[in-house]
Amino acid sequence: MSLLTRVVAAATLWSIAAGAASLRIATFQTDVTPPLGTPLCCDGRTKPAERIVDPLSARGLVLLGAGKPIVLVAVDWVGIGDEGSDTWRRAMAEAAGTDPDRVTVHTIHVHDAPSDEPGGERLLEPFGLAGQFRNGAFVRSAVERTAAAVREAVKKPHLVTHLRLGSAAVEKVASNRRILGPDGKVRFGRMSSCKVPEMRAEPEGVIDPLLRSVSFWDGERPLAVLTTYACHPQSYYGKGGVSADFVGMARSMREAALPGVAHIHFDGAGGNVAAGKYNDGSPEMRPELARRLAAGMKAAWESSVKVPIRAGDVRWRIVRVALPLADSLKDLDRLRKVVADPATPVLTRLSTARDLSWAQLSTAGREIPLFRLGLGDASVLFMPGELFVEYQLEAQKLKPSAFVAMAAYGDYGPGYLGTRIAYEQGGYETGPASRTSPAVEDVLMGGIRRLLADGSRSGAGAP
């Protein structure tokens, strides 16, 4: 073999190895705005869609080069739960050419938006109550359109050479919803909006004030930014106007400021956090909350630190957990009777059908996946349900010197996921709205510790 031939062969092998080690990203976005008449907010009490205030999207990114593709999806809906979560993940996996265990699908939890929890609807169908909180035909089309967007996106990925990691405080948006009295019990709930001066005068309470930002770059060219912030994203809702609310507005502001950069936002562990201290529910507060959130996004972007990234620096870990069922949901026959009873108010039958769907899955041994995306020393955790902010804060304590972000509102099936003490304190979130028992803290924290444990790359779906 001549010297020239050896040089060409070596260069070819180096090129192949470099290509194999390169990290690439594909971003996607599609419209998932519901048609008028579609049920909103999954509870049967909210007005259906009467007008479109602003469009809703499903958007995300696909990471390529680190084993099988990794797909992250954020949808501008209330929740996607139980079998709906499975359907979305399978469809996105097929579109990206990967496994469902390498796909996570979340919602940003805006309330003037649809939901997808098909199990409850199926239980209502024999009694003529299907379609009360879910538009099945629209959901199926939304899944298909999003999968098509993923399929097209992976055909034209971009090289990623660097990340930028940043965080910044968001001022006067988040406050804890649960105000305790002298007896240690919940005295009142300060929800997404609040007009009672006494409630608004209470301190912010336990929150995570920081918005976190992970951006992907090809040299000096920004490609995409992923942000997380723990707060219910409602300013006002329930009037029939479809909207991505102040979170969608803030995201749009940043898109306008950074044209060509894909913006994917995830709601953090904000199950017990909302804007009630700073929001009186008036229409003019929506753009003001959006401005404050966008300011946090901008500050996190501008303060971010650039670090190199290769495919070998990307890790994907999955831990499956079985969440303990709430005692109130263990009598499945009682729940079935409520759903079937024509003398029971329709709203009660609707909510009970959702409870029964989750109870049946839980009793059958359903496990929920928790995910960790490792990007060098940084981690983004992807969690289920309406997770309390304490979980996010505890995860960060496990890696105090590292960048740890968290996205909640993955599988929406279990509802609110409180801490053990929160179940003793009472309140809406850990009362009728939670489908798990107080033991859920031990299960979830155990899962988080396993996700963040250093060492070999373990767990199904690890590259």
Q: Is the pLDDT of residue 18 over 90?
A: no
**247: its two tokens:** 């979170």
* Span 357-398, pLDDT tens digits: 999 999 999 999 999 999 999 999 999 999 999 999 999 999
Q: Strand, helix or coil at 241?
A: strand
For the segment 295-320, the average pLDDT, to the nearest whole number, is 97
Confidence (pTM): 0.93
CA–CA separation, 215 and 167 (whole Å) = 11
DSSP string over 155-211:
TS-EEE-EEEEEEEEPPS--EESEEE-TTSSEEEE--SS---HHHHHS---S---EE
**141: its two tokens:** 């089309």
- Do 166 and 300 contact (CB within 8 A), yes or no? yes
Q: Strand, helix or coil at 447?
A: helix
CA–CA separation, 311 and 321 (whole Å) = 28
- Do 319 and 268 contact (CB within 8 A), yes or no? no
Q: Are strands 175-176 and 273-274 parallel, antiparallel or unpaired?
A: antiparallel
* Span 274-286, pLDDT tens digits: 999 999 999 999 9
Helix, strand, coil in percent for the chain, rounding step 5: 35, 25, 40
* Span 95-137, pLDDT tens digits: 999 999 999 999 999 999 999 999 999 999 999 998 888 999 9
Domain limits, the chain:
24-326+357-452
CA–CA separation, 26 and 201 (whole Å) = 46
pLDDT band at residue 10 under the 50/70/90 scheme: very low
If 0-12 CB within 10 Å is exposed, 13-18 middle and 19+ buried, where does residue 399 land? middle
Element (H, E) at 119: helix 118-124
Angle 136-153/83-96 helices, nearest 10 degrees? 30
**31: its two tokens:** 């419209």
